[in-house]
Copies of this chain bind each other. A is one copy, B any other.
Amino acid sequence: MANNHAVVNALDRLIAVFSKLPGIGKKSAGRIVYHILDSNPALALNLAKELEGLHHAIHRCGNCGGFTETDPCAVCSDSGRDHSVICVIESAQDMRIIEDAREFRGVYHVLGGLIAPLEGISPADLSIDKLINRLEKGGIKELILALNPTIEGDTTALYLQKQLKNFQLEITRLASGMPVGGNIEYIDKLTLSRSFRGRIRV
């Protein structure tokens, strides 16, 4: 069939690459590539240029593990932030999301994953040693475990609590419960029970 089929190689190859990106299926990849073809070539060239330079420009912050152009990163080197509070996150992307909420003014530590034995991810695969190094330098008062309220997140949080119990610091986790604008009717049972357990006095 391939011979009779209106296959265009460069197009198909690009669609194949796009459809491997997270959240992009084959149909969206097609829509994107045709959009790029319909657009001014500058769009494709600009995207190509940025992609080409990406891994050169961006690397991991030696301190927190976040993505950065400078080392240490803008957060780690910002004297206006509270360096006594470390927010422990699964991935560098979480840092961006938390920063966008403009609520947290401390610093970060990227674990680079969550403990997931079934997927072969053990504590040794996470940057826990680096976190312990940071804690050993002293001056840290609180560790906020901003890990997803999932089995993996809970397991990792529990593991960290045990590993770090000899340090003089407060370990907290983000509140889990109903999302703002949520509706009790539609919330799942687990979340609802967490909302009850985590209820706060008003």
Contact = CB atoms under 8 A, between A and B. Distances in A.
Interface of A: 1, 4-11, 13-14, 17-18, 20-24, 28, 30-38, 41, 43-55, 57-58, 66-69, 73-75, 78, 80-81, 91-93, 95-97, 99, 102
B57 A10 contact: yes
Contact of A51 (B23, B48, B66, B96): B48
B1 A102 contact: yes
Copy tally for this chain in the complex stands at 2
B54 A99 contact: no
28 contacts: A4-B80, A5-B99, A6-B74, A6-B95, A7-B74, A8-B67, A8-B73, A8-B74, A9-B57, A10-B54, A10-B58, A10-B69, A11-B58, A13-B50, A14-B50, A17-B47, A17-B50, A21-B36, A22-B35, A24-B24, A24-B28, A24-B32, A34-B93, A36-B51, A38-B91, A45-B52, A47-B48, A48-B49
Contacts of A50: 10, 13-14, 17
A110 to B, nearest CB: 11
Given A49-B48, A66-B6, A95-B6, A32 B23 contact: yes
Contact of A37 (B18, B38, B67, B74): B67
Given A4-B80, A51-B51, A99-B5, A92 B34 contact: yes
Nearest to A94: B34
A73 B6 contact: yes
Contact of A52 (B44, B66, B99): B44
